[in-house]
Structure 1
Amino acid sequence: MHTDLWKHALALYERPGVETACLDVQAMGGDVCLLLCATWLQAREVAFSEQRAQALRAIAEPWQTAVVEPLRHLRQQWRTPAQHDPLLATLRAQVKGLELQAEQTLLERLQNCAKQWPTGASETASDWLHRLAPEQARGHDALNTLRVAAAGLQDAEEDG
């Protein structure tokens, strides 16, 4: 199992269907970094508590609003014009790189928040993914895709 949240996120994001599922949940108002963190916490068997969830949200929400979302908006705004302007396409690629760095920074901050929480909790009923997803995503196929992919990743890492 990846002890590093960034490595976990990269490995999970590469699994079939995960990118689409993340984008679907993001379109419903979900924070992909929080969802990836949720799968990491679940894999590490960290017991859920509302206090812990609030601590993660307190880190994620301001960073998403002030840093990630403006970069994403600019990148998306430039999608069509960049198809006809090579210089703008280069700038758009740089903005995409900054957006990825901002998400990596957020994942590092979430990991730092959670690193002192005990792992290996026998309580398996807590579902971090369900509890950190937006209300409208709960029960959606995208969330199930993430859950299945995360379980598959965990199985693959335990067998490897």
Structure 2
Amino acid sequence: MVQFTIPEGLHIRPSTASDKPFIEKLHREVRQDLQCIDGEQDFIESIVDMQLKAQTQGYGAQYPNAMYFIIEKHNEPIGKATLDFGHNEIRLIDIGFLIAARGHGFGRAIIQSFQHCAAQSAVPLTLTVLSHNLSVKRLYLELGFQVSEVQPPYELMIWYPPAMKSIVGV
């Protein structure tokens, strides 16, 4: 069984319509690269908004049963996660944290809680990571994920619950 400790005050809850301003704020922080576009601020903001809308619609089309969660620390939103609970896997579609919430072990704890859910359901936990995102990839490797498939610029990673490892031969 996955052993982990949830930091005090950290919890995850389903996202609601009232979380939209936070999700937009988080998206702007996560996508700082879009702020480098050459253009007027209104144009840049429209690109950021379109990218968030396209991402949300893309998740909905590819994962129609996806569930959206807000990660909180002492009842303040600090991140979000999107998961799809399929028949044969739990897919971590997206996870992101405000810049101020990074580097405190919150992501590790949340992913370990997802691993615990996967172990309870006896299914693997899968995710994709950008190949060049070495710090995040290192975290996933430390948590027992393995690269399953490479389709540049992404890598599919998979974590098998201990009870499944002997079945699948990993």
Check whether TM > 0.5.
no
Greater share of strand: 2
The alignment's TM-score, normalised by the length of structure 1, stands at: 0.29
- TM norm structure 2: 0.28
